[in-house]
Structure 1
Amino acid sequence: MKRATIYSIAEELGVHPSTVSRAFSRPELVKASVRERIMATADRLGYAPNRTARGLATGRTGLIGLLVPDITNPFFPPLVRAIERAARDREAGVLLVDADARGAAEPGLIRQLRSEVDGLVVASPRAPSAKLKDAVSGMPTVVLNRTVRGLPSVVCDNGTALREAAEQLRRDGHRRFALLRGPASSWAARRRAQAVHQWAASADGVEVVELGPFEAQFEDARSAGPDIVASGATAVLAFDDLMACGVVAGLAEQGVAVPDDVSVLGCDDVLLARTMTPALSTVTAPLQELGEHAVAMLVAVASGERVRDERVEGVLTLRGTTAPVKGAAASG
């Protein structure tokens, strides 16, 4: 008989695998009726959580290795916290390593981590896929916010929300958009740019001017102010919130007001987006959900379960940095 897993239970009940995992590790977070169905199905199928896997894998260290590309980017601290919480629920700790925005350094850092941890979460890596796969060979690994053929992954898909944002701006009268592309080696930057260009190809009467690639840094985006003004764009779609904040500052230096003269949209919805003035319109990434999914998947991989790639959706959050073009009539 095929061994029951959290994935087979989830499929039978029509719930997410992380919900099944949470029913065992954090039952107070799962609705009672759903938890009861999960437990009844698990009992019927003969499933029991692998306690060794909950401690992450071999019990050799009880640690998850977590590699991030740049801890100074405000996207990563809340993601790290989400992963630490999910690991703690499974009696594991987290060993954090920062690649200092050096994609070429990632394989070597991963090799150093291997002897210290029982499994790896590699977040938003920039190194070539072949080098990543070679570095993690034989180690339980989950890739977060990037897909690598042959490695399990959890990604946040912002494409739908970005297209929704661009279309809303088009209805608000914007016709010329500046796209500030993120790092050249970033998978997320490529995906976000593709989503915007695909939308523009099917939208009526719009033009997208791509600027960059830029490093995901405040100063890099700030320095783009003159180019944005020269482009004639009335709306800016920035790779992430940190860059969007740089855009607002750079435009202010050019005497351009946001959102009165130019609308600006970020991506990720980090704390900075909610505390700046005006508050930043952005795409909200479900960071807690991403962290939980990544750790639940790593536990499954460590215990020998077959897993499927997972995808969560970003959600459009409109705030104070986007507005209709002055004098423009709304369109459908």
Structure 2
Amino acid sequence: MAAHTHPSGRRSTIYSVAQACGVSSSTVSRAFTRPDLVRDDVRERILSTAAAMGYRPNRSARATATGRTAMLGLVVPDITNPFMPPLVRAVQRAAADIGCSVTLMDAEESAGAETQLIGQLHGQVDGLILASPRASSRALAEAIDELPCVLVNRVVKELPSVVCDNSGALAHLGDRLAGHGHRTFALLSGPSASWAAKQRARAIRAWANRKEDAGVSLVELGPFDASYDGGRRAGAALLDTAATAAFAFDDVMACGVLAELDARDVQVPMQRSVVGCDDVLLARMVTPSLTTVAAPMAALGDTAITLLHHRIANPGIAAETVTLSGTPVVRDSTAPPAPPAP
């Protein structure tokens, strides 16, 4: 463990922290390296005393003593996607709560780059979080090997994961639109390699099937890129259908749809209603503001870190999938359809 200088001029060491707390130096060490082995009140006293004395453990020494780096990896498919920064922040905050730092890597929407980045992180991190990975299940399993790993918004057999189930929220918004009088809906599908796109499409299809007796029909378009330009193409395709309401794969695509409709002098929500998904910041800033489904970002980060922490401490534990629920958010991009022209 490293020594640090206390504001008084004395050098703070593991031994001076132990003396101040009235515990052994090994207990101080465990409070940083194996906090689960130290009683809560004792651990809190040690950590607060260490902070007041300006003492911090030396990460290299800790890694040598414990075989752990206190570093976690986070691989995202595209850091420019507005969904990712709030998730990164949530993961970093949850990691800090257990004394870990996070190394962030961007796969730039490449499944090949994704598996390469995973390989680079072996030996550098104690565990790994993969957010919405694009690689095949087999390629992921081979790249991960024995590195403790948790997936976010993707399910792969024998790997722990945390996912956001938007089916209830999407059905709620569909019911609301059907109640307003919409009968023909469009599903603007996301990327074919996206697990989340498949889940959202399945949820919307299931809702539409349940509503067939009420005269609801569904037109499926795409797949489209989860991007602004993909949304522009989806918006153009939407206008070739009779649909008066559309479910876009995510908010970025939905914003592209809004832009394309505006460029063609189609008014939203008077002539078309548009629904997004994820509730990124852009959804609140665009005009009209976007009806969407809010993802529980803080809970996704907290749960991913909790699962990974358990996996690192207990490599043999059975994998589990934790499912969280999205929340419908109604804004200005949805309304009753305009009455037919006389």
Above 0.5 in TM-score? yes
Equivalent residue, structure 2, for 1:135: 143
Question: 1: CA distance between counterparts of 2:93 and 2:105?
Answer: 17
Query: SS at 2:239's partner residue?
Result: helix
Q: Does 1:175 align with 2:201?
A: no
Contact 2:164 2:326 in 1 (8 A): yes
Q: State the 1:61 CA deviation.
A: 2.0
Query: SS at 1:224's partner residue?
Result: helix
* Alignment equivalent of 2:303, drawn from 286, 293, 306: 293
Q: State the 1:209 CA deviation.
A: 1.2
Identity %: 50
Q: State the 1:260 CA deviation.
A: 1.0
Equivalent residue, structure 1, for 2:322: 310
Q: Which amino acid aligns with 1:186?
A: S
Q: State the 1:225 CA deviation.
A: 2.4
Larger-gyration structure (1/2): 2
Contact 2:159 2:320 in 1 (8 A): no
**Of 106-115 and 236-245, the range deviating more from structure 2:** 106-115
**Pairs within 5 Å for 1:21-170:** 60-170=68-178
Question: 1: CA distance between counterparts of 2:179 and 2:245?
Answer: 12
Query: SS at 1:209's partner residue?
Result: strand
Question: 2: CA distance between counterparts of 1:195 and 1:303?
Answer: 36
Q: State the 1:184 CA deviation.
A: 0.5
Contact 1:300 1:307 in 2 (8 A): no
The superposition leaves residues 209-263 of structure 1 with CA deviations (integer Å, 9 ceiling, x where unpaired) of 1111111100111122221111121101000000010100011111101111100
The superposition leaves residues 272-328 of structure 1 with CA deviations (integer Å, 9 ceiling, x where unpaired) of 111222211000000011000000110011110555320100011101100011249
The superposition leaves residues 122-176 of structure 1 with CA deviations (integer Å, 9 ceiling, x where unpaired) of 1101111011011111111101101100100100001111111111111111111
Question: 2: CA distance between counterparts of 1:98 and 1:165?
Answer: 33
Gaps of 5+ in 1: 1-23, 29-51
Query: SS at 2:163's partner residue?
Result: strand
Question: 2: CA distance between counterparts of 1:197 and 1:208?
Answer: 7
Contact 1:300 1:306 in 2 (8 A): no
Q: Does 1:206 align with 2:216?
A: yes
Q: CA RMSD of the aligned region, Å?
A: 2.3
Q: Does 1:218 align with 2:228?
A: yes
Equivalent residue, structure 2, for 1:13: none
Question: 1: CA distance between counterparts of 2:180 and 2:97?
Answer: 45
Question: 1: CA distance between counterparts of 2:264 and 2:236?
Answer: 7
Question: 1: CA distance between counterparts of 2:141 and 2:319?
Answer: 17
Contact 2:189 2:222 in 1 (8 A): yes
CA shift in 2, pair 1:261/1:226, >3 Å: same
Query: SS at 1:231's partner residue?
Result: coil
Q: Kindly tell me the number of residue pairs found equivalent between the two proteins.
A: 280
Contact 1:119 1:298 in 2 (8 A): yes
Contact 1:61 1:117 in 2 (8 A): yes
Q: Which amino acid aligns with 2:332?
A: G
Q: Which amino acid aligns with 2:277?
A: C
Contact 1:182 1:216 in 2 (8 A): yes
CA shift in 2, pair 1:260/1:58, >3 Å: farther
Question: 2: CA distance between counterparts of 1:255 and 1:277?
Answer: 14
Question: 2: CA distance between counterparts of 1:58 and 1:167?
Answer: 54
Q: TM-score, normalised by structure 2?
A: 0.78
Q: State the 1:58 CA deviation.
A: 5.0
Query: SS at 1:223's partner residue?
Result: helix
Equivalent residue, structure 1, for 2:332: 320
Question: 1: CA distance between counterparts of 2:88 and 2:286?
Answer: 22
Question: 2: CA distance between counterparts of 1:319 and 1:244?
Answer: 13
Higher relative contact order structure (alpha carbons within 8 Å, sequence separation ≥ 6): 1
Q: TM-score, normalised by structure 1?
A: 0.80
